């Protein structure tokens, strides 16, 4: 049923949709290579400047474990050798691969379900007020990881089609990591990743794999069609033609420091329609950072002016 197996699904490696494995790597480097304080600090500043992720000193072992993968893939002798390769990488390819192993991609279908209930109860029924002139509803899943969040949004929209069908709706899903975007676009998930999806939704929106795909499901084309994927670094300037009605940016700001969070929330505000909503992870309240959004309920903020 599926043309190519997603890399994560075959053999050892990160669990589908889960964080990259931090240990148990059979690279011959497992415990054997050093990441000095100076090297850690150089790589941590590179990560911060490229994608805003703040790696405190406590993350040294995590970085070391994740680097093991890149050292093995590139054949670098040690971290110094790898740093030189990164610095001399004119194509940008190794930088992308490096960021792919740095990012934590844990996600789930129907994660933090209150946001989806809010969408159904409070946003979709009031679209006429939110979307001027009968324009389509635009939702952005701004750190979509392996696709579970945008596909959940798509299922919720399709289940309540009558509320938006006249005007239309679309979901933009973006992430920094090319690896997770590829998995999201494939839309293939191991059976154990879909256990939280209500059974009627599973039957309606997923195809069960057979033969060598037994144990996997794939999103059906109607779900896939609702979502447009794009690589986007949240640290960059946003260049959208039209503002969004709802932005989901969940469980990523937690990796950024306060000044970075402030700049990001301001950028989100500026690409929301007046009255539009920003949903953040439930452990990511905007308390303690300066912003111009109105608190609506836990983990939900609204642009008022």
Ligand X SMILES: C[S@@+](CC[C@H](N)C(=O)[O-])C[C@H]1O[C@@H](n2cnc3c(N)ncnc32)[C@H](O)[C@@H]1O
> Where in the sequence numbering do the catalytic residues fall?
66, 175
CA–CA gap between residue 286 and residue 2 (Å, rounded): 41
Helix (H, G, I), strand (E, B) or coil at 91: coil
What are the backbone angles phi and psi of residue 249, rounded to the nearest 5°? -135, 85
Task: Give DSSP secondary structure letters for 183-212.
Answer: HHHHTEEEGGGSTTS-HHHHHHHEEEP-GG
Report, in Å, the least distance between residue 240 CB and ligand X. 15
In the complex with ligand X, the residue whose CB is nearer, 33 or 255, is 255
Token pair of 113 as six digits: 């379900």
Give the β-pairing of 169-175 and 206-208.
unpaired
DSSP 271: T
Counting every residue written for the chain, the total comes to 305
Query: In terms of C-beta distances under 8 Å and separation of at least 24 residues, what long-range contacts does 89-97 make, across chains too?
Result: 94/70, 95/50, 96/178, 97/70, 97/73
H or E segment and range at residue 254: none
The smaller minimum CB distance to ligand X, of residues 39 and 177, is found at: 177
Closest CB 281 distance from ligand X, rounded Å = 6
Strands of 169-175's sheet in order across? 227-231, 169-175, 137-141, 244-249, 272-280, 300-302, 294-297
- Provide CB contacts within 8 A for 182, sequence distance 6+: 6, 7
Distance separating alpha carbons of residues 192 and 195, to the nearest angstrom: 6
Give the pair of three-digit tokens for residue 143. 């750190």
How far apart are CB 234 and ligand X at their closest, in Å? 4
Q: Are 165 and 195 a contacting pair, CB within 8 Å? A: no
Q: Which is nearer to ligand X, 30 or 170 (CB)?
A: 170
Q: Output the smallest distance, CB 304 to ligand X, in A.
A: 24
> Closest CB to ligand X among 195 and 210?
195
CB of 106 to ligand X, least distance (A): 5
Closer residue to ligand X in complex, CB, 47/127 = 47
Minimum CB separation from ligand X for residue 282, in Å?
A: 10
Nearer to ligand X, 29 or 67 (CB): 67
Which residues are near ligand X by CB under 6 A? 51-53, 103-107, 111, 143, 145, 149, 175-177, 180, 233-235, 250-252, 281
């Amino acid at each position: 049923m599926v043309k190519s197996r997603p890399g994560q699904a075959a053999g050892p490696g990160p669990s589908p949709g889960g964080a990259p494995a931090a240990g148990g790597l059979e690279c011959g480097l497992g415990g054997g290579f050093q990441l000095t304080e100076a090297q850690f600090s150089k790589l941590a500043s590179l990560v911060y400047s490229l994608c805003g992720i703040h790696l405190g000193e406590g993350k040294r072992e995590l970085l070391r474990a994740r680097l093991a993968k890149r050292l093995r893939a590139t054949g670098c002798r040690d971290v110094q050798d790898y740093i030189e390769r990164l610095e001399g990488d004119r194509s940008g390819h190794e930088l992308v691969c490096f960021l792919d192993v740095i990012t934590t991609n844990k996600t789930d279908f129907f994660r933090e379900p209150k946001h989806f209930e809010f969408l159904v109860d409070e946003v979709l029924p009031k679209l006429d007020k939110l979307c001027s002139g009968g324009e389509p509803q635009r939702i952005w899943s701004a750190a979509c990881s392996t696709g579970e969040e945008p596909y959940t949004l798509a299922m919720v929209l399709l289940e309540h089609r009558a509320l938006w069908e006249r005007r239309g709706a679309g979901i933009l899903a973006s992430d920094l990591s090319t690896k997770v975007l590829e998995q999201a676009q494939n839309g293939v998930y191991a059976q154990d990743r879909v256990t939280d999806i209500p059974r009627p939704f599973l039957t309606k929106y997923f195809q069960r794999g057979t033969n060598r795909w037994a144990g996997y499901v794939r999103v059906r084309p109607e779900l896939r069609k609702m979502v447009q994927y794009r690589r986007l670094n949240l640290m960059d300037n946003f260049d959208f033609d039209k503002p969004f009605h709802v932005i989901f940016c969940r469980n990523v700001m937690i990796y950024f420091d306060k000044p970075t969070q402030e700049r990001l929330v301001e950028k989100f505000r500026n690409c929301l329609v007046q009255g539009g909503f920003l949903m953040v992870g439930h452990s990511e309240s905007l308390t303690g950072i300066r912003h111009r959004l109105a608190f609506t309920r836990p983990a939900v903020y609204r642009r008022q002016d």
